[in-house]
Structures are given as structure tokens and as C-alpha cells.
């Protein structure tokens, strides 16, 4: 039997800033809409569980009554209520999406977007600022100039990208005199694309860490059910393997699913987006799961629906 692949117990560090954070991140995609007291509780629980990288974006809240900027505004209200929380975390945000456009990564826009995020967040510096999605009309040298300028002004500490291909990451990096700190792809036991498209390979090559969004496949890996017959068989097969791993480690299927992403050597940090404090605590158990090499490949094969050669 394969020896267990143990998760890194030590904290990760952010780029050249050296800021430390834990192996699981907390995401604010659905954060907007609650009151300040409830929002503060979620942040405090996440931090207490070692989820010390808090990931948000200016567009989060768009699908709620709070609207564009709603999640950042609420997080800023949390910092106002308890200023010390800002210094207990690595704060990550994203910009570059404009509903209806849909993308703008020109220097002028990114400068305005970052400054607006800082105002909503009630902070002077964003620790990790990421381009949310690639703008195919923005020259890479202009995007790089925006990030370099924001960094030189002290408005951001490090820069990264979200939903970029490996070639887009490389093209942007070519115009920067500091390393990009992060790639943020969708990655889960049901979304294996980063294993094969070069993104996780590039993280290892460049020394960037991977922030995995939707590591629980939008909740599918929690409830194990779908109305799509084409997905049902695959979901059932993956869930069955994850349940075996979960039982062996006395954790939930959700924790086992997060652990699947975390054992990859690209330093994958799954982003947990649950809005329930009890579930935040539950998913934090992913950091203590032991998964064998054989079990990891069993998940991959179940997801692919075929045996690896």
C-alpha cells in the first residue's frame, strides 16, 4: 500500500512579502447579504480554524441585494467593528470584471478598481490583488504596469491571476520584475483541468501557489446528487471513493474532497465558501487528512471514468 501523502502542516508564505497563511482559505463569494455580526462570526471562526487567507473580489455581492462591491463593503464593516481582524489575515481581492463589458484590465481601470476596493475594505493595502479574469484586449505590458504601479504605491503587496491559462500567466510574468504569487483556477475532484492544461505544472515551475476555487464543485461533492443524468454516474463514483477516504480519517466527505486538492505538490490552497460556521469548522479538518498515493489516483480515475494507462 502507498505511504500516506501528508499535508503540509506549516503555514505558506505569500510571495516576497513573507506573510504567512494556512493551508485552507476562506472565500467571500456568498458573503454579502448577512449582517455585520454574522459576518464577523464567520471571519472569526475561519481564522480560528487556520483559514488565514481571506479571498474576496469587487464583483462578489452582485447576485445579492448588496450589489457590486457588497462582499468587500461588508468585510470592511467587519474590520470597522473589530480592526484587529484585518491584521490576523492575509487579505486577497480581485478586480477586472465589469458586468456587461465584461472585462477590463487596462491600467486606468485596474487603478480605479483597486482604489475602490481599498475604500470598501477600509484598509490601506490589499495583500494579494488578482486579475479576476483575463481581458483579451488589454496588452500584457499594460496589465503588468498597473500591477507594478499599485505595488510601488503600497496599495498591494503581491499580485496574482485568476482563471488565466498557463500561457497568459507566462506572458504577463514576462513584463513584471517581481514574481506573480498566485494562480487561481477552478479545481476539484470533479474538475481536473488544471492537472492537464499546464496550470498546476506552472505553479511548481514559477513558485506560485494555486488557489482552488469551487473545490467542492459548487456543493455537488457535499450532497452527492445532481439532476443531470450525464453527471450522476461520475459524481456517484467520485463520492464513493471520497467516502472511503473520509471514513478512514473520521472526517466528512467535504474534508476528504478538499484534501484531494491539497496533496498536489503545486501547493494548492482550496477556498471554502460555506456561510455556516459549523461547516467552516468541519471543512478545516481537511488539513489533517492522510491520503495515500493510490487513493488519490483512485479519485482521479473515478472522475475521469477510466483507468490511467
Q: Hey, which residues are catalytic here? A: 60
- Helix, strand, coil percent content, the chain, rounded in steps of 5: 45, 20, 35
Cell numbers 504601479 correspond to 149
C-beta of residue 162 within 8 angstroms of C-beta of residue 128: no
The Cα 46–Cα 49 span in angstroms is 5
Cell numbers 490589499 correspond to 126
Residue 212: its H or E element: strand 209-212
Helix 277-284 / helix 253-262 crossing angle, nearest 10 deg: 50
C-beta of residue 172 within 8 angstroms of C-beta of residue 140: yes
Three-state DSSP at 241 gives helix
C-beta of residue 267 within 8 angstroms of C-beta of residue 294: no
Burial class for 28, CB neighbours closer than 10 Å (0-12, 13-18, 19+) = buried
User: How far is CA 258 from its chain centroid?
Assistant: 12
Amino acid at each position: 500500500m502507498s505511504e500516506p501523502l501528508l499535508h503540509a502542516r506549516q503555514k505558506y508564505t505569500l510571495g516576497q512579502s513573507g506573510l504567512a497563511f494556512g493551508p485552507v482559505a476562506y472565500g467571500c463569494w456568498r458573503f454579502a447579504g448577512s449582517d455585520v455580526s454574522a459576518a464577523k462570526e464567520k471571519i472569526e471562526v475561519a481564522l480560528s480554524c487556520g483559514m488565514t487567507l481571506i479571498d474576496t473580489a469587487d464583483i462578489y455581492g452582485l447576485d445579492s441585494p448588496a450589489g457590486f462591491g457588497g462582499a468587500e463593503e461588508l468585510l470592511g464593516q467587519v474590520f470597522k467593528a473589530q480592526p484587529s481582524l484585518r491584521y490576523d489575515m492575509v487579505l486577497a481581492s480581485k478586480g477586472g470584471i465589469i458586468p456587461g463589458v465584461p472585462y477590463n484590465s487596462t491600467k486606468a481601470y485596474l487603478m480605479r478598481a483597486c482604489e475602490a476596493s481599498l475604500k470598501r475594505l477600509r484598509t490601506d493595502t490589499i495583500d494579494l490583488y488578482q486579475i479576476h479574469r483575463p481581458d483579451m484586449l488589454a496588452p500584457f505590458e499594460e496589465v503588468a504596469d498597473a500591477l507594478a504601479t499599485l505595488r510601488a504605491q503600497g496599495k498591494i503587496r503581491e499580485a496574482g491571476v485568476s482563471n488565466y491559462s498557463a500561457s497568459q500567466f507566462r506572458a504577463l510574468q514576462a513584463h513584471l520584475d517581481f514574481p506573480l504569487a498566485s494562480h487561481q483556477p477552478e479545481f476539484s475532484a470533479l474538475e481536473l483541468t488544471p492537472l492537464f492544461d499546464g496550470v498546476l505544472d506552472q505553479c511548481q515551475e514559477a513558485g506560485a501557489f494555486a488557489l482552488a476555487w469551487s473545490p467542492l464543485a459548487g456543493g455537488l461533492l457535499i450532497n452527492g446528487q445532481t439532476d443531470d443524468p450525464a453527471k450522476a454516474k461520475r459524481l456517484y463514483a467520485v463520492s464513493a471513493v471520497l467516502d472511503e477516504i473520509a471514513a478512514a480519517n473520521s472526517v466528512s466527505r467535504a474534508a476528504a474532497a478538499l484534501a484531494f486538492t491539497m496533496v498536489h505538490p503545486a501547493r494548492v490552497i482550496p477556498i471554502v465558501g460555506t456561510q455556516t460556521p459549523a461547516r467552516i469548522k468541519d471543512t478545516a479538518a481537511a488539513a489533517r487528512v492522510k491520503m495515500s498515493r493510490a487513493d488519490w489516483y483512485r479519485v482521479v480515475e473515478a472522475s475521469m471514468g477510466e483507468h490511467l494507462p
